[in-house]
Structures are given as structure tokens and as C-alpha cells.
Structure 1
Amino acid sequence: MTGHARLSIAAWGATVLGSLVLTPVFSGPFLFISAFLCAVVTGTGVLLQNLRTPRIVVPIVQLFVLVELLSLFFLHGTMKFGLIPWKGTVVEFNSQMVDAMDSINRFSAPLPQDTHLTLFAVSVIAATGFLVHVIAVQLRQAAWSGLLLLIMYTVPAATVHGGLPALLFIPPAIGYIVLLSAEGRSRLSRWGRRISGVSHLDAAEPVEASALGQAGRRIGLTVVAIAALLPALLPALPEGVIGNGLAGGGTGNGIGASISSTDPMLDMGKNLKRGDNVVALTYKGGPSGGSYLRLTALDLFDGNTWRIAPRSDGHKISGDLTPPPGYTGDLTKVPQTSMEIDVTRTFRSQFVPVPYPLRSISLKKDWQYDAGSLDVVSTNGSIVGGKKYKLTSYDLEPTPEQLHDSITTGAPDEYTLTVPQKTPQDIKQKTYEITGAAANNKFEAAVLIQNWFRSGGGFTYSTANAKGSGMSALEDFLLKNKEGYCEQFATGMALMARIIGIPSRVGIGFLPGQAGKDGEYTVRMHDMHAWPELYFEGIGWVRFEPTPSARVSATPNWTVTTSGDPTSPTTAPTSVATTPGGAETPGIDKPRHDPNLPDQSGIPIVGSGNWFTNGGGQVIAGGLGVILLLCIPWLIRVLTRRRRFLRPPGRQAAEGLWAEVRDTARDLGLDWSEVSTPRQTGQWLMTKLPEETHPAARRLARGIEGLRYAGNANLDIDLRPEATAVRTALWSQAPARRRWRARLLPPSWRWYLSRGSTEASDLLDEFDLLLARLRSLALPKRPHTN
């Protein structure tokens, strides 16, 4: 096989192995199609090079072949005469790429098995394979092609929810090593005939192992071992070091869901449309009929995205949180409810699901809250998945009369009343038209907007809307197609509220969920929801519900206007399918605390635990781990000494006892010589020992000398008494400081590390020899003829 053919095949193999990292992202037969396309492109290159085609022509022909294959596989209907890619092919390819990028941005991995996503994955892999071939084969710079394989790994590693498995790094690493090995062999072959390498230690062994193969295998195995073991040995990095790493993971076969601090609205849309409808959390307590659980509030709208505005440093959680922003009443008279929430590991979020407004929570360490939004977020990137906590919240129930009489003169901050300059005039005009009957009362105007979305505006609830909540998408939603899900309804009402002078923001969280036995509510991933929060002075932030009854059956109690608008809430539960193919999910807004039931205020929050449960146990475990780690050298020496003295008399036992005396001398700081004979070492030992131990040292040294050099030596000689006497004398003569060091951190332990690396090298030599034997059996050498 020629050098360029071998290198071309290695480049193909490196591409296929590198593309394995995309399997957690894409689904379907994309990998097999990509491997076939790359094989055809590689075969084309090998054929052209065998035909002595000019080097500049080879990649051009390969590119034409790649475009033709992609068109035949995915865009055949757009090709002229069914064979030639034409203008329509380019247009359709661009359209499918746009659709694929939109799906990648909106869906959670693994992505669905759609044609445009398969085309995207195959195009990326095939283009990578083509570039790897050009760089490694045509330009003869195989090392640089590793950057392409690295990019193909780092992209899913930074975006796949929960991160990639550590072992998935091994296939690209092996592919890269094979490519480098092939490139090195091809480069050496141009210098002439390769000289066979290092033979086995046994000179009589007729088989030789390639020196180049030996070096390649050692480097390759070392790199792969480091790649596989290093992630397990390093401390776990916080969430968000590489990507946000939030969605997915957890136990079970569900993908799970996430809310990141980067784009909570986008994450919610992904979870509603693609995430499995697994349990996110369960809770007990709270208002009768269940409670909305909020994660965070989006208060900054720049005309393109709704996101969290810049915040000052959060507040540490210690006791009660700050009072609800904007509320001026007597909080001691407001009913309070207690809840116990258990979050599953499938929900990965730095934000904690809590009712609004929150009063206190049992989470303390590594968690903080924002005074303006009263959301709770981690301080170190950890997630709430797997946490169980207790809390108390205020059960604020403003009456329609209170909201009607509230006069809002300004915003509580610099963001929530800002209307982007590029807001279309049509949206403003529609807002004024809807709220014209409110007689300048902002609460009445807010209720009119809510009712317009739910019943009067002809809107339809559907998760098929993939345009998001930017200004152009909102214009299309509000004035044209009028089809969307909670994201569009919440952001649309929030924008309209700002237009008429009501500060607004968008809450992200969960619907109350499904009631079960013993008062426990189950909240699933498809219960994720968005709603607008409007600000009224003296009362604060108030939740509204513009999403139609197909998703949320009722509006909040306080949105029943004083004029008797028929928006009274209902307690009838409604179950609807929220995602195509998903399980039915209850999407109800049940009435809050029933005034006819006994008051639930005054229930104290359960204590946050003792010192042990609040981190003391981890400190103890960490201390024990450090102690155990420090004890490893001592443990190795003790076990080695015990094994040496338990061996039956013989040559091996005598050498072990001699080694034990050597290690004891080294541990005590004595300069043991490796080049001295046993007799010379025995004479040196006697200078370090008391006179009564000299005979034992002399017998020990002469015994080792006889076993090594005398043909008629006594092979059953037992040197344990002499070794014990010499070792005890050395120990008693050493200063106390050196004895303690010899116990806790014996210097001879470093020798075992060196010995271990030597034995590992010998093992690799045996492996090299085994491969050489197999090669000689499969490909016997032909006899030379003169």
C-alpha cells in the first residue's frame, strides 16, 4: 500500500471516529451516511493520486464529488435532469440549513430525526472529512488536522445538556493518533527502507517489533489513558465552566430540563417542545389548590430578547428575606404558607423553584437571593437538582378594588417600563385600541389586555410557533397569525403593559401541577410556564395570565374587575396535551387560599439542620480522605515488609530480605549504594550498626553473596533472623525525627513508583512482541533469492 493511500485511509478513520462525539446531539442514520460519503471522497482522492493527477486538481474533484453526493442523497428533487445541482439546489440547501440551525437553537439534545437535521450533520461531518484529507494528505500537515477533530468534539461538549461522557473523548483521540502514526510512517518511508526496530529482550527470539510502532503505541496509550482518567481524578468543575451544562443529565431515561441564566426563555421553549415530560419536582403544603413556582423574572427587553437585567450582588440567605418590592401594607397581617419541595435530579437549574413572594427558605450555603425579584440562585454554579428544602411565603391576595385604586406613577427600576424604540406603531395603536374602555385606569387596562389574549382576540395556543419573542415575532403574533404558546402570550402582554405605562416583567417557572395523595403535588417538565408580572404601587408585582384556557383554564382571582367582567376563576381541573406526542399535562390555575378554611399563617419554618448536615459531614469526609491519601506510602511499606518476611526460605526470599534492609536504610536517610557488591555493602552496614549486630550483618551479606555467585550455595538458607536483627539495629540507631519520617513518608516509596513504570514498560514490550508474532504468522516473510 502506498504512503498516500495509507494516510488517506487514516484520515477517513480519524473523521469517522471523531464524528462519534455527535451521537448525543443528532439521531438517525447520519453517522453511516457520513462514513459512506467520506469513504467515496477518500477513494476519489486515492484514485486520482494513483493516476498521478496534479495535486491542485485532487481537492477540486473531491469537492465536486461531495456536492454531488449530498445533492443526490438529500436534494434530488431540485437537481437539473436529476443529476446536476442547480440554482434550486443551492436555495433548498440554504433553506434546510436555516431550519436546522433554528431547530438546534430551540430544541434540546438529542435532536429529532428530521431530514434537515440529518443533512446538517452529514454536511458538517463530510466537510470536516474533506478538510482533514486536504490538510493531512494534500498539504502533508496531519498534526494541524487535529484542530478540526477538536472543534468537532468541543462544540457538543459545550452545548450538550449535562456534558459529554468522558470516555467519548477516546475515539477522536485514537483517530488522531492513528492519523499521526500513518503520517509519520509515510514521512519516514520517503527516506528509504525502514529499519526494523527493537527486538525482544531475549536475543534468541526470532521476532522483532517495529520501533516506530512501539513509540506510537506508547504515546497513544499514554494519551488515551490520561484523557480517560484525568477527568475522573480532577475535582468536579461548577456548572457553566464549559457551556452551561444544565439541561439533561440526571437519572432515568428522560432528558430532563434546565433553566440557565443566559437565556431562560429559550431554555423553557426547548423543554416544552422537545424535553421529556418527566417529573421535575414534588411539593406539599402551600395555598389550597396548588401554587405557581417561579424560577426568575425577565425584566430587560431590548427589542430582540427578554433576559435578566444586570443585577447587583445578591444577598446571603439568613433568616427572613427582604419584604416584597412595592408592598407598603402590614406584612404581619398577611397570611403565610409553608411548603416542602423535593426537586428531582432531572431538573438542572441554578435557580430555585419558589412561590412569590418568598419570605424564608432553608437553603443557606451556596445560595443567595435578589432583593428586586426575590428569586434564589446558586453562588457557585451548582444546580438545584436533587435538593430538598422547606420555605414560607406570603399569600398575597390583592382584591380587584385595591388594584383598581392603585396609582402607578413610575417604575421601581430602570428596565421594567422601557419600551424599545423599534416597537412598531401598529402594536402601540392596537394596545390603545384594546384599552380604550379602561378610562385611563391601568388595572382595568391590564384586565382588558388579558381578556383580549384569552378570549376576544382570536388567539390559538400552540407550541408550533418557533419564531420566539423578538419584536418582529411579537408583531407577527399579535397582529397576524395569532398562534403561539405561553412565551408569546406573556411577552406580548408585558410589552403592551409597558406601552400604556405599567411596569412589567416576565416570570419563568412552573404551573401548580397535578394534585395527588396526601396533599402532594407533582410538577412535570411540561408544566413549565411563562406569565407577565405587572407592578402596582402599594401592592408590588402582581401575576396575570393571558395564556388561553387551552393551556391554563383560569385567570387569577384578583383579575375579576369591579365592573363584573366575566373572568371569574374556576376550580375545575383541566388536562390538555401541551406538546405533540407528550403526555397530558394539567395546566390549571386553581384558586389560592380559601378564606373559609382555617388560617395557615404562623407556621414556623423547619430548622435548616445541624452542623453535620450543613457541611460538617463533608469536612469530616474530606479530612479522612486526606489522611487516607497520606497513609498510602506507609501502608505500601507495611504490606511489602510483611510479604517479604512471610516468604519461605529460598533465593527469592533472601533477595526480598536484602531489599527490605536496603529500603529501611533509605527510609532512615542512609546512603545505600546500588553499585556495591553484597560484601562491600555488608562492611558498610557494620559501620552503621552496634558491635553486637556485626555478626548478623556479616552472615546476611555473605548469604546474599553466596546465592548470587556461588554455584554450590545452600538454596534453603533462612536469613530472616539476620535481616530482623540488622533492621532493628538500624532503626534503634536512627534519630527520632528520621524514624517518624520513615513511618509517615518513607523515601523508599518513590522507588516503587519507578519500579511500577518499569514494569509497565515491560508489559508494553510483551504487547509489542505479541503483535509482531501475529504479524509474522499472518504475513510470513518470503525467502530471499540471489
Structure 2
Amino acid sequence: MLRPEASTRRRAAAVPRRPWLDQLLVVGALAVLLLGYDTVVEGRDWWVTTTLVAGLVALVCAVLGSLAPRFAVPVGLLVLVVVLGWVFVPETFAGPLPTTSTFQGLGEALSRAQVIVMEEAAPAAAARPLVLLLAGAFGLLVLVLDLVLRLRVGVFLTGAVLLVVYAAPALVSGETPSLWVFAGAAACWLALLRTRTAATSAGWASLVPALGLGGSALLVGVLLPPVLPDVTAVAKPWGEPPPQVFGRGINPMLQLGQNLRRNSTTVSARYTTTLQDPPYLKVATLRDFRGRTWRPATANDGDPFESRIGIEPEVRTSQETTTIRIADLRSSMLPVPYPVLDVDGLRGAWSLRRTGLTISSDSSTTRDQQYTVTSLERLPTAEQMRALVTSPTAVPLDYTALPDDVPRVVASTAREVTADATNDYDRAMALQDYFRQNFVYSETAPVAEDYDGNGVGVLGTFLEEKAGYCVHFSSAMAVMARELGMPSRIAVGYAPGQAAGVDDDGNTEYEVTSDDLHAWPEIYFDGVGWVGFEPTPGVGSRTGFEEPEGTPESTEQAAPQDQPSQRPSDAAAEEGSVTTEASAADSEAPTAPRTALTVAVVLLLAALLPGLLRSLLRRRRLAASDPEPWWREVEASAVDVGLAVPRAGTPRGLVDVVGPRADPDDLRRVLTAVERSRYARPGTDVADEREAARRVVDRVRAAGSRGERLRALLLPRSLLRRR
């Protein structure tokens, strides 16, 4: 059986490519599809940044796809990393070159982006890590599609990829992008499909199937979405309330950001109480801190039940009751006042943790529960609190342990703020007042300024920006307390809420909502136990105890102690705790201008690079001792200025082409040297005519028009010419 030659088979399997057109259509489709991501990310700065980065990578693939296709993807990946580094972590560069810190910085930023994706409500603020994630993802997508389009079925696989990109926002936010987004991307894909079919066959025989297939796909895209099932129910809960506010086995500290920034407000519980002030309702206690996040305390065998902690006999105490009726809350963690002594009326199996006195269940939830909690109210005076001395052995070392990488500014600020205090109570009060009087409450500033979280990595930036929400305030005060030697931890649960009416017995009924989700620090005082403080401005009341009559502290504190908690939004209007600077933080530090500048610099370098390479090549050739490089340079210079130089011509044929532009004597001398080097007997002397060759090259390049000379300088054709 006759078989085609191998070279024939390879040509038959080759995919016709037009790199410039391919990349233009791919970038056009991706840019249009990016418009559908406005349900996921706020603003337009991220769109400009992502489009510029993807466009630059596509330009690299287009250029190298024409010159050296095998290097297109590796060089494109290198350019992508360098550009992302210049835009997002420019401080890690050593001059124009990236360092190992550049890759570490990009990796850390992507890790922060993962936290934002898991915790943020859609549409999220365009935080730099999130913009980095988008720009990097779409840049990589350009490289992947460049490889895909080399396959014979690559155009159909490209269509499938673009469809996935179109559907992604709907799976995240539950909102399907506009039909115009689909139509624009589909038009680019149809044009790409047409270029492939036109390259393999001709006429209506290829046009009709291509347009028929593409038109059918477009029609399906238009008619199918209205009859598809709603994707909101299966969309990732980014922007939707999570199924459990405090889920079983999940660190509640990591859920606060998502729940505080979700789009809707729900009533979690209603309660009445005999306590003097409406209480905080605790669901979890966080003690262990190794740097990345605070974690729930794990009970040790030697830990006592905190309800049995010894109270000084002089401290006034009483047992009070709080009746709680759960509304829209489904959790395995029960909200209770601290310290709890007894719970009555619960359904299901619940267990009391000795550490933190929190109540949880492995099989039951809070749904539709109504229960009464008996708790201990402790009412020491300020003088009694100042007299308490906490022994280092009073609590386990876990309550004072700190990682080694706490920023120095945390300890220095703690010592500076408490410089005038002589006891632990006054130190705790000074820290609390420092935050309430000098900081503002903001749920958006930490995300936009890239310091969201509760680990040591954000504390320094939080102290500098002076804006954040309860996670930042509680973590900062707890760490500062430990820096000063005071045992501390974090409680998570609900702030006291607001008075919502009166029940049938005439008792004031309070209401806590999802807006009251909260974290606050607790500090241990030997003789009283764990005392909660409130450093977050605009939330709850300033913790403080009764001062002797006539002191400034007594008059300062009397008013707020009897007031119910305010939600941050309400407190902002009254106290001015949310400033325009903080609320507008998500629009600060845009990435688009720096991206545009970086892309412009790269394009400028790319525009100058061919001329630079051509200049270096010219110098090397004219400096050679062999006539062949001289003659190749004469030929290349003629090609650069647009002369019709035959690819397989003889030296004398080239003389006929360049003769009108060069000195005849110099041209003859160079021709003679070339012919002797080629055809003369070995060992024949060849005259050194490098100066004559240089003059011929200069005359050929200078004889063209201004446009020809400019093009020869910036876009030399000879670099693309294959011999």
C-alpha cells in the first residue's frame, strides 16, 4: 500500500494559524466576558488592569507566534509574572529585575485573595489581591488558549472555555451576565471559527457550515437561559448568608467578615433579662494564637470550670436570668451570657465547655429554641479592680503566649498608651479608650487596603490605618494585653442589640440581628475572673466599673452604662465613627494607572527591541573579518528599506538591486571580496573591505525616504526574513 511521505503527513496535520488575528479575537472575547464580572467585583479599575495584562500577554504570543511559536508560551508566562510583580509588588524588585521576594509577595497576595473569595460578599471591593487573582487568571487563560488553538479542534475547545468563563459569575453571585456580554464574546468566537474554516477550504462550502454552527450556538445561548433552572440556589455563598452563621467545626472568627458584610439583615434572637445592662451573648472562646488566626480554645485536663473561679468576698455578685428566643439562626453554638451557671428549656443534647463556658452540640441546632440562662453578674468597683493582682500561675500559659513575629509597633504602642497606668485595670481601660477614641469602624477599609484578617500580619497596618471592624479591634487589644503580661483571649458572639419593645410581663425585649455579630477581648483578673472589654467604636458600651464619687471617671462612665448597644450603622450617624475616608477606602490605591504605565513601558521596550537587535547584529556583521557577514548585512539593509531582494539571488543580482543607491566603486570592491571568498582557490588572499561595506550599508539605508528609514529603524523587515 502506498503511503504519503512523512513530510506530507505533517503538512496535512498542521493547523493553519494567524497569530495576530487569533490573539486579537481571543482578547476581544475575554475583555467582553470580563464585563459580566461586575456582579462579583465592584468598580472598573480591575477591568482595565485585567484587560491590559491579558492584552500584553496576547501581544507577546502574537509576535512570537509569528517568529518562534515554540517560545510564545514560555516567554508569555515570564512577561506575565514580571508585569504582575511590577504592578502589585513593585517594592520586591531589584531595579528592573524580579527577586525571590517577588514570587513570595505574589504568593502571599494570592493567599489573601483566597480569604477574600471565601469570606467576602459579592460584589466585593476591588482589593489588590482580588485584582491580582483576576489579572493572573486571565493572563494564564490567554496562554492556555494559545496552546489550544494549535490543535485541529482548538477553535471548538476555545468556545467551550469561553462558555465556562461566561458562566463563572453566575455560579459565584447567582446573577447571569447580560445577554450582550454573551453576544459580544460569541461574535468574536464566530470570527475565529470563520478564519479557521476559510484557511482550510474556500467559498460557500466552508462559510455556510461555519455560520450555521455558530448561529445555532448563538441562538441556543439566547433562548436557553430563560428556561434554565435558577443558579442562585447552587451558587457559592459569596454574597449570600451562609447556611450556618457559626457552623460546626468551623472557626467562628473566620466567618465574621463574611457575615458582617452580607447583603441582608436577619433577626437572630430576641431576649429579656434581669441583668443590670443588656448582655453580650457569647458562642465561642478563642484562646490559641500562633500568628495566622485566633483559634477556639481546646480544653486541657487541668482547666477548671470557669463558673467556679474564686470571686473576692468584697465583690458584689448576684444571679440573674436571661430568657432567649431564637429567631432566624441555625447554629450548633448556643448564644448565652457569660458566665453561665445553668440553662433550662433546651431541646436536644448540649454540652458545656469548661473553658469559656460556651455551649455547643454535635447533633442539635439552635433552630426554634427558647431557653432561660442563669448567669452570674459581677459588680466590682473600680477601686477593687485596681487592687487585684493577677499571679502568673493563675491561668495556663496559653493565655499569655505570643508568636515571635508580632510587629514591634504593637508592643511599643501598648507601652506608650499605658505609660501612666500603674495596675492591670487601668492598663486595660487605657487600651480600650485608645481604640474607641482614635479609630473608626469600617468593614470595607481592611478589604480595600489589603489588611483584612486577625493575624499578626495585619496588626501593624491596622494600627497605622486606624480603621477596621471588631475582628481587628479585638485581636489588637488582646495581643497588646499579652504584650503587657495580662492574660487575654477573644470572645465571639453577639453584641447586646437594641430594645425592640415590651413583652406581656412588661419586661424590655431586646433584639439581636446579623449586624450585631461581634468579637471582643476578655482579660483575666484574679479575684473576679474574665472581664469583657469593648474597644470597637460605636458598638456596645465602654466597659468600666463604679468609681468613687467626684472622680472624672465616674462622671464619664455613668451615661453609657445604662444605654443599650448601638449597631455600627446607627452609631456612625451619631458619633461620626465611620468617616468618608474609611467608607471610600475601596476606591483608593487603584491598580489600573500603574498597570497602564507598566504596559506602556513594556510596549515601548518591545517597540525599541527590534531596532536594538538589528543594530547589534549590524555591528557584529560589519566587524567580522569574513566577507560573507558583510554581504549579508548589505542584503539585510536593502530588505529593511523595502528593496525587492530575491530570496535565492546571486551577489551580482543583489548588485543590480542596490546599485542605484550605493557608490559603484565601494560596491564593486565588496562584491569582488565576496566572490573571491566563495569561488577562489583555498588560501587566496581576500582584501579587507569592511570600510567599503560599511559605506555601502550607510548609503543604502540613507537613500530611502523618511518613512522607509523610520520603518527600517523600528521594524526592520530583515529580522522576519528567512533565508
CA contact (8 A) 1:281 1:344 kept: yes
Question: Residue 573 of structure 1 corresponds to which residue in structure 2?
Answer: 563
CA contact (8 A) 2:73 2:146 kept: yes
Alpha-carbon distance between aligned partners in 2 of 1:285 and 1:43, rounded to the nearest angstrom: 64
Alpha-carbon distance between aligned partners in 2 of 1:457 and 1:195, rounded to the nearest angstrom: 74
Residue 501 of structure 2, aligned match among 511, 517, 530: 517
User: Mapping of 1:73-112 within 5 angstroms?
Assistant: 105=115, 108-111=120-123
Question: Residue 265 of structure 2 corresponds to which residue in structure 1?
Answer: 278
Residue 25 of structure 1, aligned match among 13, 22, 40: 40
Pair 1:389-2:343 in alignment: no
- Give 3-state SS (helix, strand or coil) of 2:149's partner: helix
Pair 1:123-2:145 in alignment: no
Residues 15 and 364 (structure 1 numbering): CA distance in 2 closer, same or farther, change over 3 Å? farther
Residues 455 and 190 (structure 1 numbering): CA distance in 2 closer, same or farther, change over 3 Å? closer
Residues 112 and 471 (structure 1 numbering): CA distance in 2 closer, same or farther, change over 3 Å? closer
Question: Residue 449 of structure 1 corresponds to which residue in structure 2?
Answer: 427
Alpha-carbon distance between aligned partners in 2 of 1:32 and 1:429, rounded to the nearest angstrom: 41
Pair 1:532-2:525 in alignment: no
- Give 3-state SS (helix, strand or coil) of 2:369's partner: strand
**1:418 shift after superposition:** 2.6
User: Mapping of 1:195-274 within 5 angstroms?
Assistant: 245=237, 248-249=240-241, 264-265=252-253, 267-269=255-257, 274=261
Residue 69 of structure 2, aligned match among 49, 55, 62: 55
CA contact (8 A) 1:514 1:521 kept: yes
**1:507 shift after superposition:** 0.8
Residue 506 of structure 1, aligned match among 483, 490, 505: 490
Structural RMSD (CA):
6.8
**1:508 shift after superposition:** 1.8
User: Mapping of 1:403-422 within 5 angstroms?
Assistant: 408=391, 410=393, 413=396, 415-421=398-404
**1:35 shift after superposition:** 9.2
Paired residues, what number? Answer: 521
User: Mapping of 1:555-634 within 5 angstroms?
Assistant: 555-557=543-545, 566=553, 568-570=557-559, 571-573=561-563, 578=568
Alpha-carbon distance between aligned partners in 1 of 2:435 and 2:571, rounded to the nearest angstrom: 28
Residues 47 and 300 (structure 1 numbering): CA distance in 2 closer, same or farther, change over 3 Å? closer
Residues 191 and 88 (structure 1 numbering): CA distance in 2 closer, same or farther, change over 3 Å? closer
**1:26 shift after superposition:** 0.5
Q: Which amino acid aligns with 1:573?
A: Q
CA contact (8 A) 2:40 2:124 kept: no
Residue 308 of structure 1, aligned match among 296, 300, 304: 296
**1:463 shift after superposition:** 3.2
Alpha-carbon distance between aligned partners in 2 of 1:117 and 1:250, rounded to the nearest angstrom: 23
| Deviations, residues 226-254 of structure 1 (Å, cap 9, x unaligned) | x977999xxx99xxxx99x5873379xxx
Q: TM-score, normalising length from structure 1?
A: 0.48
Residue 355 of structure 1, aligned match among 337, 349, 355: 337
Alpha-carbon distance between aligned partners in 2 of 1:209 and 1:371, rounded to the nearest angstrom: 73
CA contact (8 A) 1:26 1:117 kept: no
**1:515 shift after superposition:** 1.1
Question: Residue 608 of structure 2 corresponds to which residue in structure 1?
Answer: none
| Deviations, residues 745-767 of structure 1 (Å, cap 9, x unaligned) | xxxxxxxxxxxxxxxxxxxxxxx
| Deviations, residues 88-109 of structure 1 (Å, cap 9, x unaligned) | 9999999999989868756722
Q: Which amino acid aligns with 1:338?
A: T
| Deviations, residues 722-774 of structure 1 (Å, cap 9, x unaligned) | xxxxxxxxxxxxxxxxxxxxxxxxxxxxxxxxxxxxxxxxxxxxxxxxxxxxx
CA contact (8 A) 1:526 1:585 kept: no
Residues 545 and 309 (structure 1 numbering): CA distance in 2 closer, same or farther, change over 3 Å? closer
User: Mapping of 1:341-740 within 5 angstroms?
Assistant: 341-344=325-328, 351-358=333-340, 359-360=342-343, 364-365=347-348, 370-377=353-360, 379=362, 387-400=367-380, 408=391, 410=393, 413=396, 415-421=398-404, 445-455=423-433, 460-463=438-441, 466=446, 467=451, 469-471=454-456, 474=459, 486-498=470-482, 502-518=486-502, 519-536=508-525, 541-547=529-535, 551-557=539-545, 566=553, 568-570=557-559, 571-573=561-563, 578=568
User: Mapping of 1:120-199 within 5 angstroms?
Assistant: 120=132, 123-124=135-136, 126-138=138-150, 142=154, 164-165=173-174
CA contact (8 A) 1:432 1:500 kept: yes
Q: Which amino acid aligns with 1:291?
A: P
CA contact (8 A) 1:477 1:484 kept: yes
- Give 3-state SS (helix, strand or coil) of 2:431's partner: helix
Q: Which amino acid aligns with 2:490?
A: V
CA contact (8 A) 1:263 1:307 kept: yes
Residues 363 and 395 (structure 1 numbering): CA distance in 2 closer, same or farther, change over 3 Å? closer
- Give 3-state SS (helix, strand or coil) of 1:547's partner: coil
Structure 1 unaligned runs (5+)? 79-85, 198-207, 314-321, 440-444, 588-786
Alpha-carbon distance between aligned partners in 2 of 1:391 and 1:96, rounded to the nearest angstrom: 50
CA contact (8 A) 1:575 1:586 kept: no
Identity %: 22
Question: Residue 294 of structure 1 corresponds to which residue in structure 2?
Answer: 282
Alpha-carbon distance between aligned partners in 2 of 1:124 and 1:372, rounded to the nearest angstrom: 45
Alpha-carbon distance between aligned partners in 1 of 2:576 and 2:376, rounded to the nearest angstrom: 24
Q: Which amino acid aligns with 2:241?
A: G
CA contact (8 A) 1:400 1:562 kept: no
**1:285 shift after superposition:** 0.9
Structure 2 unaligned runs (5+)? 1-14, 503-507, 578-723
**1:283 shift after superposition:** 0.9
Alpha-carbon distance between aligned partners in 1 of 2:61 and 2:417, rounded to the nearest angstrom: 70
**1:452 shift after superposition:** 1.3
| Deviations, residues 127-164 of structure 1 (Å, cap 9, x unaligned) | 1442233221246685997998899799989xx9xx65
Residue 319 of structure 2, aligned match among 306, 325, 335: 335
Alpha-carbon distance between aligned partners in 1 of 2:378 and 2:520, rounded to the nearest angstrom: 18
CA contact (8 A) 1:30 1:122 kept: no
**1:301 shift after superposition:** 1.4
